[in-house]
Amino acid sequence: NEDDLSGVLKHLDASRIESNEEMFGIAEDMNVIVVSLESVESFVIGETLNGQEITPFLNELIEDSFYFENFYYQTGQGKTSDAEFLINNSLYPLGRGAVFLTHYDNEFKALPNTLSNYGYHSAVFHANDKTFYNRDIVYPNFGYDSNFSFKDYEISRMNSVGWGLKDIDFVEQSMDYLTELPEPFYSTMITLTNHFPYHLDEEDHFIQPFDSNSRIVNQYFPTVRYTDEAMRILVDELKAEGLYENTILVMYGDHYGIANSHYGELSKFLDKEIDVAEAVKLERVPLIVHIPGLEGKTFDTVSGQVDVMPTLLNLLGIEEDGLTMFGNDLFAEDRDDFAVLRNGTVITDEYIYTNETCLSYETGEEVASDLCQPLIERGAAELYYSDKIIYRDLFRFKEDVYES
- Which residues participate in the annotated binding site? 38, 80, 195, 254-255
Tell me how crowded residue 7 is: count the other CB atoms within 10 A of its CB: 14
The set of residues, in sequence order, having a beta carbon less than 8 Å from that of 14 and lying 6+ positions away, is none
254 contributes a contact to Mn ion by CB under 5 A: yes
Stretch of residues binding ligand GP9 (CB under 6 A), selected from 101-109, 188-196, 259-267, 341-349: 188-196
147 contributes a contact to ligand GP9 by CB under 6 A: no
335 contributes a contact to ligand GP9 by CB under 6 A: no
Stretch of residues binding ligand GP9 (CB under 6 A), selected from 138-146, 190-198, 287-295, 338-346: 190-198
Number of chain positions touching ligand GP9 (CB under 6 A) = 7
Q: Which of 190, 315, 316, 332 binds ligand GP9 (CB under 6 A)?
A: 190
What part of residues 63-102 is at the interface with Mn ion (CB under 5 A)? 79-80
Comparison of 79 and 109: residue with beta carbon closer to ligand GP9: 79
| Cβ-based burial of 157 (10 A; exposed 0-12, middle 13-18, buried ≥19) | exposed
- CA 22, CA 331: separation in Å to the nearest integer? 9
- The 3-class secondary structure across 251-285, one letter per residue, is EEECCCCCCHHHHHHHHHHHCCCCCHHHHHHCCEC
Question: CB of 191: closest distance to ligand GP9 in angstroms?
Answer: 9
227 labelled catalytic: no
Comparison of 118 and 132: residue with beta carbon closer to ligand GP9: 132
Site string for Mn ion, 32-61 (x = CB under 5 A): ------x-----------------------
Stretch of residues binding ligand GP9 (CB under 6 A), selected from 100-108, 187-195, 317-325, 396-404: 187-195
Comparison of 38 and 382: residue with beta carbon closer to Mn ion: 38
Which amino acid would we find at residue 402?
Answer: Y
What part of residues 103-132 is at the interface with ligand GP9 (CB under 6 A)? 128, 132
Question: CB of 339: closest distance to Mn ion in angstroms?
Answer: 19
Comparison of 36 and 386: residue with beta carbon closer to ligand GP9: 36
The set of residues, in sequence order, having a beta carbon less than 8 Å from that of 264 and lying 6+ positions away, is 214
- CA 46, CA 55: separation in Å to the nearest integer? 7
The angle, 0 to 180 degrees and rounded to 10, between the axes of the packed helices 215-240 and 263-270 is 60
Task: Select which of 48, 55, 75, 80 is catalytic.
Answer: 80
Question: CB of 39: closest distance to Mn ion in angstroms?
Answer: 6
Annotated binding residues for substrate, written as ranges, equal 195
- CA 206, CA 284: separation in Å to the nearest integer? 24
- CA 398, CA 330: separation in Å to the nearest integer? 26
Q: Helix, strand, or coil here: 189?
A: strand
The set of residues, in sequence order, having a beta carbon less than 8 Å from that of 137 and lying 6+ positions away, is 104, 105
| Cβ-based burial of 2 (10 A; exposed 0-12, middle 13-18, buried ≥19) | exposed
Of 237, 274, 272, 271, residue with least CA distance to 259: 274
Q: Which does 190 bind (CB under 5 to 8 A by kind): Mn ion, ligand GP9, none?
A: ligand GP9
- CA 28, CA 315: separation in Å to the nearest integer? 7
Q: Which does 358 bind (CB under 5 to 8 A by kind): ligand GP9, Mn ion, none?
A: none
Question: CB of 126: closest distance to ligand GP9 in angstroms?
Answer: 6
Q: How many residues does the chain have?
A: 404
Q: Which of 74, 80, 106, 311 binds ligand GP9 (CB under 6 A)?
A: 80
Question: CB of 254: closest distance to Mn ion in angstroms?
Answer: 4
Question: CB of 14: closest distance to ligand GP9 in angstroms?
Answer: 33
Of 38, 100, 92, residue with least CA distance to 346: 92
Site string for ligand GP9, 339-358 (x = CB under 6 A): --------------------
Which amino acid would we find at residue 338?
Answer: F
What residue ranges bind Mn ion (CB under 5 A)? 38, 79-80, 254
What residue ranges bind ligand GP9 (CB under 6 A)? 79-80, 128, 132, 190, 192, 195
Residues taking part in catalysis: 80
